[in-house]
Amino acid sequence: MVEPWIKKYAPKHINEIINQSEAIGKIKSFIEKYPNVNKKALLIYGPPGVGKTSSIYAIANDLNYEVVELNASDNRNARVIHEKLGEAIKGKPFFKKGRIILVDEVDGLAGFQDRGGVGALAKIIEESRWPVILTANDPWDPKFKKLRDLCDMVEFKKLSNYDIIRQLKRICANEKITIDDNVLSALADRSSGDLRSAINDLQALAMMSSHITLKDLEVLGYREREITIFKALGQMFKANTIMGATLPFADVDMDPEEIKAWVEENISNEYENIKEIYEAYNWLSLAVVFYGRIYKRQYWDLLKYFTTLMYAGVALAKEKRYNKFTKYRMPQYIRKLSQNKEIREKIEELSKNLQKKVHTSKHRVREVYINTLIVLMKENEKIGRKYAEILGFNENEISYIKGAVEKL
């Protein structure tokens, strides 16, 4: 059996951990100083695949500690937690200098709280003679409030494309694989900061060939959709008839609602004359209004009007066909906007108390205070923190907000 590369290339030592030096420093000092620490446990959080768990093992290895792990595959109600960890938190390891109690993915288990999981964990943290470390993707769920209060929080950052590409290159060199640079950046793009998934993809590609090209990416399934939409866009922009403009999209496995963003992104990419651009946008704008009506009434029979106005309106806006090669783009802003929204919503979730204090609705709290908080945090951390304090956020929450705002 082939060894999974994510295991093979997991960091064995602290210096092999990629780009998390601040977090690593905190974890290391927590373990070494324990039990003379501020809070009795650490809660490590961050997106998937950035090295939270593997870092703990690397640190343990360097410090000559053993790791006792309770992970998502274990059932984690109060009884199991007590059975699995009850002994470990008391005894001494035979061969190692110390022990780390690792509870992986605390947010991963449904109903965990109901079956006394949180309470049992709190007890473990309280009684343990060894450092307890928890990991989570999203620790801001209200049901973890009690755990958050017991823990110092350490954030793992999302990895940059650069970090990921560097790591993939290292693996390729070691595995004697040649790979095109554009494949590397495509893999990095796809992973959105998740090194684990990028390495998994790479291994899947390498199983088929030792020279990987962009063409091979299709095998992973996720290129296909884009190839067909790019083709359809090309045909639409060149079309001179209504049929010619609408037919190419018959094969595209995408909702017209989704396609409209691709069309919009590429109007000014294809057309150069402002009159054409205006006419294309005006049709697209009207088509969207039509879509709004269809949606409101749930009258999907009318969808053909939306698509026809969109495709043909944009195609027929040109005065004459452009004989050039256009490199079509995928829509950029949607991902950015929705990511933006998600982060803002998380911050708002933390603002229930504030809402009471200032006698107003969530909507107004967002409009007035949260917006200001985000701006201040961005412009000047010290002032942002001061303002957050005034609004009544606690230290953990402020650190989280700081981190979240950086991603905006």
Partner 1 sequence: MSDNEIWTEKYRPKRLDDIKGQGEIVKRLKAFVESKNMPHLLFAGPAGVGKTTAALALARELYGDKWEQNVLQLNASDDRGIDVIREKVKEFARTKPIGNVPFKIVFLDEADAMTRDAQQALRRIMEEYSSVTRFILACNYSSKIIEPIQSRTVIFRFKQLDKKDVFELLKSIAEKENLNISDDALEAIYYISEGDMRKSINILQAAALYSKDITPELIYEVTSIAKPQELQEVLKLAYEGKFAEAREKLIDLMIKYGLAGEDIIKYLSKEVYSMNIPEKEKLDIIYYAGEIEYRLLEGSDPIIQLGALLAYIGLRGLQNRK
Stretch (H or E) spanning 69: strand 65-70
Cα(189)–Cα(69) distance, integer angstroms: 32
Contact between 316 and partner 1 (CB under 8 A)? no
Nearer to partner 1, 149 or 258 (CB): 258
Minimum CB separation from partner 1 for residue 282, in Å? 5
Nearer to partner 1, 3 or 379 (CB): 379
User: What is the DSSP code string of 93-150?
Assistant: -SSSSEEEEEE--GGGSTTTTTTTHHHHHHHHHHH-SS-EEEEES-TTSGGGHHHHHH
Member of 391, 398, 401, 404 binding partner 1 (CB under 8 A): 391
Member of 13, 211, 215, 357 binding partner 1 (CB under 8 A): 357
Minimum CB separation from partner 1 for residue 404, in Å? 12
Minimum CB separation from partner 1 for residue 377, in Å? 11
Cα(23)–Cα(32) distance, integer angstroms: 14
Minimum CB separation from partner 1 for residue 388, in Å? 11
Using a 10 angstrom Cβ sphere, with 0-12 exposed, 13-18 middle and 19 or more buried, the burial of residue 335 is exposed
Contact between 330 and partner 1 (CB under 8 A)? no
Contact between 143 and partner 1 (CB under 8 A)? no
Radius of gyration for the alpha carbons in the chain, expressed in angstroms and rounded = 26
Contact between 204 and partner 1 (CB under 8 A)? no
Contact between 387 and partner 1 (CB under 8 A)? yes
Minimum CB separation from partner 1 for residue 158, in Å? 17
Per-residue binding letters, 274-303, with partner 1 (x by CB under 8 A): xx-xx-xxx-xxx-xxxxxx----------
**Residue 153, strand partner residues:** 43
Nearer to partner 1, 18 or 261 (CB): 261
Nearer to partner 1, 255 or 379 (CB): 379
Distances 147 to 152, 166, 211, 366 between C-alpha atoms, Å: 10, 36, 48, 27
Member of 123, 129, 166, 362 binding partner 1 (CB under 8 A): 362
How many other C-beta atoms can be found within 10 angstroms of the C-beta atom of residue 166?
15
Contact between 64 and partner 1 (CB under 8 A)? no
Minimum CB separation from partner 1 for residue 343, in Å? 9
- Cis ω on the peptide bond leading into residue 35 (within 30° of 0)? yes
Member of 147, 179, 267, 350 binding partner 1 (CB under 8 A): 267
User: With contact defined as beta carbons under 8 Å apart, do 169 and 130 qualify?
Assistant: no
Member of 145, 170, 337, 407 binding partner 1 (CB under 8 A): 337
Length of the chain measured in residues: 408
Member of 21, 210, 241, 371 binding partner 1 (CB under 8 A): 371
| Tokens linked to 360 | 């107003």
Cα(310)–Cα(284) distance, integer angstroms: 5
Nearer to partner 1, 23 or 391 (CB): 391
Q: Which residues neighbour 238 within 8 Å (Cβ) at sequence distance 6 or greater?
A: 321, 322
Binding site for partner 1 (CB under 8 A): 260-261, 264, 267-269, 274-275, 277-278, 280-282, 284-286, 288-293, 332-333, 336-337, 340, 344, 355, 357-364, 367-369, 371-372, 374-376, 379-380, 383, 386-387, 389-392, 408
